[in-house]
Amino acid sequence: MTCEIHQGQSNDLNITHATVTNPALGKSKLLMVKGEFEGAIANVFKFLQQTPLNSEVGFLVDAVVPQGDTKVALDLTLPLVQGIMPKVYGAAQLNQAKLNVLPLDLWIKKIDGDLKFTEQGVYSDTIQATALGRPIKVNIKKGDQQQTFVNITGSAEIETLQQQFKIPGSELAKGAMNYQLKLGLPYPGRTTELVVQSDLAGVELDLPVFLAKTKNQQKPCH
């Protein structure tokens, strides 16, 4: 049996198309649902929190405040009997969206790319965006230790970093630097992990001779 849905609404999200299939009515152990819906990113996150996926995506949803709209493609294989795990694949298209990363109080803007999720968690290919006034690249990956890692590669002016993070001693530095940031978003009960690395190329340090550096020198820092 196949049922076609051409419009509908759920949790303030508009269903634009959906196909529900039961391969053998009364006999099949699986129900397949494939469709598309659209709406505010915040409402998509709320929807995910009310599904069995909450244990896999809830911590990410709690860590950000999104703004903007999205279109989501969803492909579900749902068990009709106990003992079978559901299969989930979804992709939310982000177009000029923005969100605040709460652990860093950092706004990421002009987000373009797909945020993907399965029954095992959230991930992405490279997402283009801007942060600290400059372009960045974002990759989201599921870790092995009940964490999802947000990896950001970009660059920033020292003055902008000081304004954002109030870094002690930053008045002794001038210029701009490349950086790699890794933010580990844990499941409940675990500690958030943050690692920032840079070779400080492009930064001049006004320090005593043995600590000073010119803009052209590299000095690994993490």
Q: Is residue 211 part of a domain?
A: no
pLDDT in the model for residue 193: 83
Dihedral (CA of 127, 128, 129, 133) sign: positive
Q: How many domains does the chain have?
A: 1
| pLDDT number for residue 24 | 83
Q: Does residue 139 lie within any of the structural domains?
A: yes
Angle at 197 between CA 194 and CA 203, to 5 degrees: 130
Q: Which two tokens stand for residue 72?
A: 């989501």
Whole-number pLDDT of residue 188: 67
Label residue 145 by pLDDT band (50, 70, 90). Answer: low
Least confident of 5-19, 34-48, 158-172: 158-172
Does the residue 170 lie in any domain? yes
Instruction: Specify whether the CB–CB gap between 87 and 101 falls below 8 A.
Output: no
**Residue 149: both structure tokens together:** 């890692």
CA nearest to 158, candidates 139, 137, 132, 196: 132
Q: Which pair of structure tokens corresponds to residue 87?
A: 């299969």
- CA–CA gap between residue 184 and residue 144 (Å, rounded): 11
Band of the pLDDT at 166, cuts 50, 70, 90?
A: confident
Tell me what pLDDT residue 10 has.
Answer: 84
Q: Is residue 221 part of a domain?
A: no
Residue 71 covered by a domain: yes
Q: What is the mean pLDDT of residues 70-86?
A: 92
Give the model confidence (pLDDT) of 179-211 as tens digits. 999 988 876 667 778 898 999 999 998 888 877
Angle between helices 54-63 and 41-49 (to 10 degrees): 140
Kindly indicate the confidence band of residue 74, based on its pLDDT and cuts at 50, 70 and 90: very high
Cβ(61)–Cβ(51) below 8 Å? no
**What are 25-52's pLDDT values in tens digits?**
778 899 999 999 999 999 998 888 888 7
Integer Cα distance of 113 and 165 in angstroms: 27
Q: What span, in angstroms and rounded, lies between the C-alpha atoms of 76 and 57?
A: 16
Residue 213 lies in a domain: no
Examine residue 217 and state whether it is found in any structural domain, yes or no: no
For 81-104, what is the mean pLDDT? 92
Q: What residue type is 141 in one-letter code?
A: K
* pLDDT tens track for 94-113: 999 999 988 888 999 999 99
Q: What is the pLDDT of residue 53?
A: 79
| Amino acid occupying residue 29 | K
Mean pLDDT of 151-164: 92
Domain encompassing residue 68: 2-205
Q: Is 25 among the domain residues?
A: yes
Q: How far apart are CA 184 and CA 123, in angstroms?
A: 13
Q: Kindly tell me the number of DSSP H helices and DSSP E strands found in the chain.
A: 3, 15
pLDDT at residue 147 in the model: 80
